Chain A
C-alpha cells in the first residue's frame, strides 16, 4: 500500500477516534456526564439546600472513584434524564442513611452509599466522636466522609499531595473546625490546638517538609477518632505511651508531657518574659556601645588627629 493510500484510509479513522468516549467511562456515567459536565451553578431543592450541578469530568476521571458509575452512589436515580429519585435502595444502605439523615438532608442515600465499599471505616466513623455527634446528638457539625475528604467525585489517595487529608493539607483540613472559634465554643473543644501544633517541633518540622513529622491523625487516629477523655482514645492517659512510642521508641511517662496542646504554664511563661528582657537589655547595651564607639572613632579621626597615645 502506498503512503498516500494509507493516509486516505487511516486519517479519517484517526479523526473519528476523537469522538470515542474517553478512557471508557461506564456507559451510564458518560450519559450523566454529558449534561453534568456542562452544567454550571447550583440548584435549590425544595428543602432550601443548594446542590452543585457541575461535575468536572477530568478530575472525576483521575479520582479514586473515577471508574464507578454514578448510580453506584446515587442509587435512587434510575432514568436518564432522571425524574424524581425513586429507585429501590438496599437495606444496608438505608439503615446507614437513616442515621446520617440529620446531616445530609438532601440525599442521605448518596452519603450512606460510601458504606457499600467502605463498611469497616464507615462503622468506625459512626462510632467515633465525629459520627456520634450526628447519630446521637442529631447535630450537623460532626465530620462525615465529605467534610474531610471533600467531594466524593474528586477524592484522591491520601498519599497524593493534593488530597485534603494528605500530610501537606491534613492539618488545615482539621483546622476548619478545630480552629473555628464558634465550633470550639459550641462543643467546648480544646482551644489553641492549631496554634500549639504550629508552635511545636512537630508542626515546624512538618511545615519544613520533614518526612516523619506527625500530622493530626498520627496521634489522634483518622476515622476512629475519640475525645481525649475516652479511654479508647490514643491520647488518653497511659495510651500515650504506645502512641508516642510509635515514633519515639521507649517513650516513658516523663517523656510524653513534652508534646501537648495545653498552653504553657507559669514557669515557662515567666522564664520567657525574663529572657526577652535579658535579650533586649544586652541588645540595647551592645548597640549603644558599638554606635558610640564608632562615632567617637570618627570624631577622633577628624578632630583629634595626631593626638593618639
Chain B
C-alpha cells in the first residue's frame, strides 16, 4: 500500500442502507400486499368481467378459502406494520436513530421544491436534476403511502374481517353509516394502493432503465458508494465530507 493513496477517510465499497429487520418487514409487507390484492380484486370486481372473477376466485380455492387467505394476509400485514412502528420507537428511544434533515424520511418543504425542480428538468426548462438526501421525494411518497394505506385500508379491513368484535367498540351514533363507510374506504383505497404500487413503485424500483429488473437493495440491504454518490449526493457528502470535497476540486 503506497502512502500517496491514503486519504483522511477510507471509502467503503458499499454501505448498509436497510438492516435485516427493515428488509424482513419489507418482504412481509409486499408479499401480503400481493396476496391481498389478488384475493381482494376478485371480490371487488365480482360481477365483471363476466365470470372471470369466479374463475379467478376458484384458483384461490373458492370464495371461503380466498376469504380466509385474505384475512390471514391482512392480519399479518397489520402485525408487520405495528412491528415496524414499535421498532422505530425502539430505535429512537435507544438513540440508534435520530432525526437529521439530510437522512430523514419525514417530508420537508425541500421535497416540494425537488418535485418542481425535477419537473422543470423533465420539461427541459432546467439542466439540473434535484439532489437528494437519504430519501428522495419518490421514496418518501412510497413510504408514507403505506402509512396512509395501513390506517385507511388496514383498520377498515380489520373491522370488516372481525365485525362482531369491532361492533362492541364502535359508538352508537355511528352505526347507521359506519359499516358502509368502512366498506367504501377499504375497497376504494385498496384500488388506489394497487394503482400507486403498479405505476409509482414498479416504475421507480423496477422498470426505470437504471434499476431494471429491480433495485437489489430490498434483499442485500446494501448500496454501492458509487450509486449513493449518484442517487443520494447529499447523504454521500454528509457521510464522506473529505471525499466529496476532493471530487469537487477535480
Contact = CB atoms under 8 A, between A and B. Distances in A.
A254 B167 contact: yes
Nearest to B209: A297
B28 interface: no
Interface stretch (B2-10, B17-25, B172-180): B172-180
Contacts of A95: none
Nearest to A259: B179
B185 A258 contact: no
Contact of B122 (A198, A258, A293): A293
B21 to A, nearest CB: 29
Interface stretch (A10-18, A71-79, A104-112, A271-279): A271-279
Contact of B167 (A252, A267, A283, A301): A252
Interface in A33-71: none
Contact of B54 (A203, A209, A252, A297): A209
18 contacts: A201-B43, A203-B46, A207-B47, A251-B164, A252-B168, A255-B163, A264-B177, A264-B180, A267-B177, A271-B184, A279-B192, A289-B118, A289-B200, A290-B199, A290-B203, A293-B208, A296-B122, A297-B209
B63 A210 contact: yes
B195 interface: yes
A289 to B, nearest CB: 8
Contacts of B47: 198, 204, 207
B242 interface: no
Given A248-B164, A265-B176, A272 B43 contact: no
Interface of B: 42-43, 46-47, 53-54, 57-58, 62-64, 66-67, 118-119, 121-124, 160, 163-164, 167-168, 170, 172, 175-177, 179-181, 183-185, 188-189, 191-192, 195-196, 199-200, 203-204, 208-209, 230
B170 A309 contact: no
B199 A287 contact: yes
Given A208-B63, A252-B168, A267-B181, A286 B119 contact: no
B90 to A, nearest CB: 32
A161 interface: no
A278 to B, nearest CB: 7
A275 B199 contact: no
Q: Ordered nearest first, which 3 A-B pairs have the shortest CB separation?
A: A210-B63, A292-B122, A255-B167
Given A257-B175, A290-B200, A297-B209, A208 B122 contact: no
A146 B54 CA distance: 31
Which of the listed residues A205, A248, A251, A265 has the most CB atoms from chain B within 10 Å of its own CB? A205
A268 B63 contact: no
A208 B57 CA distance: 7
Nearest to A205: B63
Given A208-B54, A255-B167, A292-B122, A283 B199 contact: yes
Given A286-B196, A293-B122, A209 B177 contact: no
A213 interface: yes
Nearest to B160: A201
Which of the listed residues B58, B184, B230 has the most CB atoms from chain A within 10 Å of its own CB? B184
Contacts of B124: 296, 299
B247 to A, nearest CB: 10
A258 B62 contact: no
Contacts of B119: 289, 292
Contacts of B200: 286, 289-290
A272 B186 CA distance: 11
A272 B177 contact: no
Contacts of B64: 210-212
Contacts of B66: 208
B54 A268 contact: no
A232 interface: no
Contacts of B118: 289, 293
Given A208-B63, A252-B167, A254-B170, A275 B121 contact: no
A213 B177 contact: no
B43 A208 contact: yes
Contacts of A211: 62-64
